[in-house]
Structure 1
Amino acid sequence: MKSRRTFLQHLTMSAGILPLALSQTGILQAMPKPYISQVPDGPVLKVALMGLGSYADRVAKAMQDCKRAKITGLISGTPSKLESWGAEYNVPENSRYNYENFDAIKDNPEIDAVYIITPNAQHHGQCLRVAAAGKHVICEKPMSINAKEGREMVEACEKAGVKLLIGYRMHFEANTLNAVRMRKEGELGDIRFFQGLSGFRIGDPNQWRLDKDLAGGGAMMDIGIYAINGARYMVGEEPIWVTAQEVKTDPVKFKEGVDETITFQMGFPSGAIASCLSTYNMNYLDKFFLNGEKGFVEMQPSTGYGPIKAKSHEGDITKPHVTHQTTQMDQMAAIIHDDMEPEIPVDGQEGLKDMKIIDAIMLAVSSGNKVKLDLV
């Protein structure tokens, strides 16, 4: 066998060696994180979903396949949704809340964490209230509408002694982790360039995503953040500068403060550069390309709900597809209950770094200047 890693990889894929058995021998702790495909057995994370919209519906359905996370609470401003979701997911009436009374979760032992899946501008206040109630916070991205709010969320959770996790589902996706592994193990050589294309043509002009008061912006907050975050974990460094340019072809649909299309560039300490596009006005944009002196990795689609399709200079990459939100919630249960450290962070500091970059991109757009970053 070529290495202990190769031996362990084959061992865990063969006839059912359980993570628990491995942990008892001390092997699990020594295994490289990308090869840990399952979380160890342990307590179930009891989750209240806040904001019962379309993405919460996707999360709820995915959680039915979770081994370590289950829906035990609901928070919504729509009574009919509380009733129908409560019946569908077997959530009793005393674990259903609205936005006025959900602070009472502090007295509910059947809720460990709240997954905030509401419009972006509401994340900050809701996070502070959940933390004050002594519950862990899982917040959908973007964590807030600016770095100031993000920093206050991190501080509130630290003060309350609860964890703050951001819904970066791609951080647990198998093809993504394989690309990161290839870069870390030197298979690509020194990284030179990253391209991230993130966009789609948005529909209903009256939806909350095009309302600055609710969304905090436009495409950058919703879809461009994938390219920002992806550049960081694919390159493996924190950017030190950004430049950016905005194009707006429909000022009626994309009002003041709601960005339609932004191209942006980032520079990294090693000299690597990233060139990215965020848009609400073009379809078929879901691509990551990472170039190194020895090889490349390309993912297209790169951040959609799956399956993710990837290839490298060595050929196609075909890791098995598992519903992203199922894996995410099981892994987050292990992070909260077992203090597991994921291969790519999903904590509040990770989310805050993306907010600092978005703030800098918007400053670069308005000023036309290169903006320096200090994320370390």
Structure 2
Amino acid sequence: MKHRLCIALSVLTGGLLLLLLLGLGPSSDAPLRMVFASSASSASSASSSSSSASGRDPGVHAAGTSNESASPDVSAAPGPSLNGEGFHLGDHHQLPSRGADNLFFIESSCAVGDPRRGIKRAAMNARQGCAVESAALANPNSTVYFLSTCPSNEGSDGEQVAKEVFSYPNVKSLQVELSSYLNDTPLGEWILRGSLNESSYPVEHSSDILRLATLWKFGGLYLDLDFVVLRPLAGLGWDFAVAESDGLVSNCVLGLSARGVGREVAQSCLGELLARFDGRQWAYNGPYLVTRVLSRLCGGAPVSQMTAGKCRGFAVLRPQSFFPFYYPRWALLFDEGASDSTMELVLRNGTYAVHAWNKLSRARPVRAGSRQPYALLARRFCPRVYSSAGDTF
């Protein structure tokens, strides 16, 4: 009997050793980065090792669930591993569902290079937080996703803003690792060639790529992080873009359904990136790319005539719907002297959201309590962020 037991143990030990030699044993180098943002209610009580109650991947809690008995040190606890979609998963985060009512914002500052090399970024600045909060308030039936390429920065500036934003039950945060995220898209092999690393505008071009890949993967609506959303967006449908000018379609806001013409547009946009990516030009892979793709879809129609009837169900909306004033007039948002006329232009012109033209306006402060139009909009449409932002917004 003892002899047989020894033989059995020897066989078992040998088998385990063979598995380890073949590389099939447990990995010790799984990514350990944490998603930086969590809801205010879960920041100190959620356990990163719990499994989802909704059947999603381990390490992801269904919205509104938590492990109240555990209070791990988030900065020291091992983080979740990268899942098959290219996300780093953490507590109280929910993967997008294909074809669902998804609304996406993307922070691409850390997409290229090593995001851990001494970069100290705010968890979320106030204007970004205002965009996300205003979208969540105006669209309570949508799931609003904040996808970030940056790692956790516990204790950084803006952490309170992030907590306010993620206190909304329909707002979720996920950290994205670019190459893994693109792996199951037509850009999977292209991203490994390093063209993006050689771009003159890596942050902007990463954002161009990520928004198109996200809509290709899941479908939904994408918005830039410098909007203030004023009205529900559901009535616009899913397959639409917005004219930035008479000859250009913007990629600041883009709705693409997961099937039909939206899926076709997403596929064509990724194909255009593969064939004609140009890292030397700022807007070539963004609004100009979208304009080229839609021109083909709409039979060469000018932007002003890209209607659903001419574009097989895809519509290009008039500029006023999201750009009540064009970029040369961006300073109107900061001018107290023109406050009344600017607010009337914004609120009484059928505008769904206001674009702040952040590339031009980001250095101009918004003073809390002032009559600057940006401050008035923030107080009304993103009240939690506005109240937590301090003296300047």
Q: What TM-score do the two structures reach when normalised by structure 1?
A: 0.28
Which structure carries more relative contact order (alpha carbon 8 Å, separation 6+)?
A: 1
Q: What TM-score do the two structures reach when normalised by structure 2?
A: 0.27
- Write 1 or 2 for the structure with the bigger share of strand: 1
> Larger radius of gyration, structure 1 or 2?
2
- Write 1 or 2 for the structure with the bigger share of helix: 1
